[in-house]
Amino acid sequence: MTAIDTERRVEAAGLRSGNCQLAPRNESGNPLLNKLAHFSGFNPACAPTVDRLFRRTAIVPRHRDILSEGSQADEIVLLLRGWAARYKLAHDGERQILSFLLPGDVFPSHPLPVGVIDYGILALTRCTIKTATAEAFDHAVLRDADLARAFWWLSIQDKAILRAWLVNLGTRSAYARIANLFCELAARLRLAGVIDGWVFDLAPTQEELADAEGLTAVHTNRTLQQLRTDGLIKLDKRRLTILDSARLQRAGDFDPAYLNPGGRAPIHLF
Amino acid sequence: MTAIDTERRVEAAGLRSGNCQLAPRNESGNPLLNKLAHFSGFNPACAPTVDRLFRRTAIVPRHRDILSEGSQADEIVLLLRGWAARYKLAHDGERQILSFLLPGDVFPSHPLPVGVIDYGILALTRCTIKTATAEAFDHAVLRDADLARAFWWLSIQDKAILRAWLVNLGTRSAYARIANLFCELAARLRLAGVIDGWVFDLAPTQEELADAEGLTAVHTNRTLQQLRTDGLIKLDKRRLTILDSARLQRAGDFDPAYLNPGGRAPIHLF
DNA sequence: CGGGGTGTTGAAGCCTGTCAACAATTGTGG
DNA sequence: CCACAATTGTTGACAGGCTTCAACACCCCG
């Protein structure tokens, strides 16, 4: 058993979240459906279809590629438990992590047989995944308008997260970048119904955090110390506690609105 | 008349590009259709539909917002001529440019009434645009599978560009970042059928380039000098000439594959 | 119990930012 | 068409955030 056990809380989330009607067959809670429940245009009727699309379950050990850069993507993957990272290698071997994938995330999340993919997906913890064949997925999403809307929404959200990362790297200091990232992760875990409060297991190592934020591991370490001594977070053995969410949010210039595209009311996360 | 006249070459492009059959009604060449012609799954039959979607033509002067951050996006915009930039302001007023928009680009390019948008679109030159109502666009894209595929492809390409920018900001030096950007712009202008060789008008000012690359205007200037003295580019009065494409590509660690998602053969750009 | 992965700390240097002044260019109005 | 103002580009000196290199401590796992 790994030390990272965001996974254990999945069951509790299913009971807690108020959208049981969305997953009638699945009392334990499907994090993807939890996410979609925040989409105002989501048609609950297609929840079973979403659920049925991903048939095959598999377990991927930590630090194994789920998808490799340059491979053929003939399966669509739904991450059920655990953390993963989408990354890309620059020519000199430097690695950029493009996004952290949390329970409920789907990749690649578009209905187009896209052939060779230009990034890799790495399991940061032991992951439980479910897969759909690309054909079945493409067919379903292109035929059913409700399903199409749902996956367009996921795609828009995904792009908004990417843009937020670009702003993070382009305009903010190391301190603000990391504060911002922690806010994003907390908010997204909440959207997926995986956590409740301000504590969660932070799967990435400091080196992986560094590769995500365009920093070195050393400087990431020093910055984390700073966040600790400022009383914003507690971080021990990869368990992160957000001690002062308001100040962390301000430090990271974090605005959660982008996580709920099209939503009238911003989700109550902070 | 502005000094930036990438626009003038649009007509020529229409005659030159070998896909006249895709735009039967439009001898002058629709840059969006030029782009889509590179998508192997594109059904030429829906070209007229694409063309007919965007009815209203408008002109936007330089340095005016086409879409403002926080506004309601009830229209879909197709950029026909000129350059624009998608940007986002951080809380302290710092601006991050998220992408440069070239002829043939559409925004927002998804069939979902997304309400308030979290970025702005700024005209970097005088722009000619065509607009579609969100309703008509949504309806058409959600109903027609071929059209859906086309816009999914555009969306995937867009996301790939975003990812490339993230790698750029996260892993590369100022010198490599700018080299990479110039490669991308040349490649995309070529995809849209707007240029032919290695010369084009670079609409953004050095300050705008800086805001795109996460640098200061001063350092961008110095880096451009370096690129000049190294004989990679010529840049005078915003007219950019790529003098040595092979070395520029190496300096920027640029791989054009991501611009043609799903394409078997990478486009012949470099 | 030992070893590799991970976290921590120090010192030195460099890439990039900041501040400031000026030149060149573009746009505007008389 | 010229004169003026505003924007954009250029250059220098200096400062600082982050990187690099290196060593060591810790912890988990076999």
Strand C contact with A239 (CB < 7 A): no
Strand D contact with A152 (CB < 7 A): no
At B70 the pLDDT is 84
d(CA B195, CA B17): 10
Cβ atoms of B142 and A147 closer than 8 Å: no
**Do B162 and A162 make contact, defined as CB atoms within 8 angstroms?**
yes
At A265 the pLDDT is 59
Q: With pLDDT > 90 as the criterion, what percentage of chain B qualifies?
A: 78
Where b means 16+ CB within 10 Å and e means fewer, A134-164 reads beebbebbbebbbbbbbbbbbbbbbbbbbbb
Structure token digits, residue A210:
């560094």
Q: How confident is the model at residue A72 (pLDDT cuts 50, 70, 90)?
A: confident
Query: What is the mean predicted confidence (pLDDT) over A178-185?
Result: 98
Strand C contact with B218 (CB < 7 A): yes
Q: How far is the CA of B102 from the C1' of D7 (A)?
A: 23
Which of A90, A253, A263 has the CB atom closest to B167's CB atom? Answer: A90
d(CA B224, CA B226): 5
d(CA B151, CA B148): 5
A183-212 residues touching B, CB cutoff 8 A: 211-212
d(CA B115, CA B120): 13
A7-49 pLDDT per residue, tens: 433 333 333 333 333 333 333 479 999 999 999 999 999 999 9
The answer, yes or no, to whether residue B92 has pLDDT greater than 90, is no
Which of A148, A253, A262 has the CB atom closest to B90's CB atom? Answer: A253
> What is chain A's mean pLDDT, rounded?
88
**Do A163 and B264 make contact, defined as CB atoms within 8 angstroms?**
no
Protein residue minimizing CA–C1' distance to D27? A237
- Considering only CB atoms, which chain A residues are within 8 Å of B262? 112-115
Strand D contact with B206 (CB < 7 A): yes
A186-200 pLDDT per residue, tens: 999 999 999 999 999
More reliable by pLDDT, A216 or A116: A216
CA B174-B176-B177 angle, to 5 degrees, is 60
Structure token digits, residue B87:
């940007």
B53-62 pLDDT per residue, tens: 999 999 999 9
d(CA B207, CA B211): 6
Question: CA gyration radius for chain B?
Answer: 18
B61-71 pLDDT per residue, tens: 999 999 998 88
Structure token digits, residue A184:
């994003």
The answer, yes or no, to whether residue B93 has pLDDT greater than 90, is no
d(CA A194, CA A190): 6
Structure token digits, residue B9:
């070459």
Closest CA to B188 of B111, B83, B264: B83
Query: What is the mean predicted confidence (pLDDT) over B185-199?
Result: 95
Strand C contact with A217 (CB < 7 A): yes
End-to-end CA gap in chain A: 32
d(CA A56, CA A131): 5
Task: State the CB neighbour count (10 A cutoff) for residue A263.
Answer: 17
Closest CA to A214 of B166, B180, B177, B223: B166
d(CA B88, CA A166): 10
Nucleotide nearest residue A220, measured CA to C1': D18
- CB-based contacts of A236, cutoff 8 Å, min separation 6: none
At B255 the pLDDT is 94
Question: Which residue bears the tokens 């699309």?
Answer: A53
Touching check for A266 and chain B: CB below 8 Å?
no
Cβ atoms of B101 and B83 closer than 8 Å: yes
What φ, ψ does residue A118 adopt, rounded to 5°? -100, 20
- CB-based contacts of A21, cutoff 8 Å, min separation 6: A44
At A113 the pLDDT is 77
3-state secondary structure of A2: coil
The answer, yes or no, to whether residue B138 has pLDDT greater than 70, is yes
What φ, ψ does residue A75 adopt, rounded to 5°? -135, 145
Q: How confident is the model at residue A115 (pLDDT cuts 50, 70, 90)?
A: confident
What strands, in cross-sheet order, belong to the sheet with A56-60?
A56-60, A127-133, A75-81, A106-107
Global pTM exceeds 0.75: yes
Strand D contact with B238 (CB < 7 A): yes
d(CA A146, CA A132): 18
**Do B111 and A152 make contact, defined as CB atoms within 8 angstroms?**
yes
Bond before B108 cis per omega within 30 degrees: yes
Q: Where are the alpha helices (DSSP H) in chain B?
A: 9-16, 31-36, 47-53, 134-143, 145-171, 174-191, 206-213, 217-229, 245-252
Query: Chain C: nucleotides under 7 Å from a protein CB?
Result: 5-11, 15-20, 25-27
Nearest-CA distance from B19 to chain A in Å? 23
Touching check for B1 and chain A: CB below 8 Å?
no
d(CA A20, CA A27): 7
Nearest-CA distance from A186 to chain B in Å? 20
Any idea what DSSP says for residue A116?
B
**Do A213 and B170 make contact, defined as CB atoms within 8 angstroms?**
yes
Question: CA gyration radius for chain A?
Answer: 18
Touching check for A165 and chain B: CB below 8 Å?
yes
Q: How far is the CA of B51 from the C1' of C23 (A)?
A: 47
- Considering only CB atoms, which chain B residues are within 8 Å of A170? 96, 169, 211-214
d(CA B97, CA A163): 10
Cβ atoms of B31 and B12 closer than 8 Å: no
CA B40-B56-B144 angle, to 5 degrees, is 35
Q: How many residues does chain A have?
A: 270
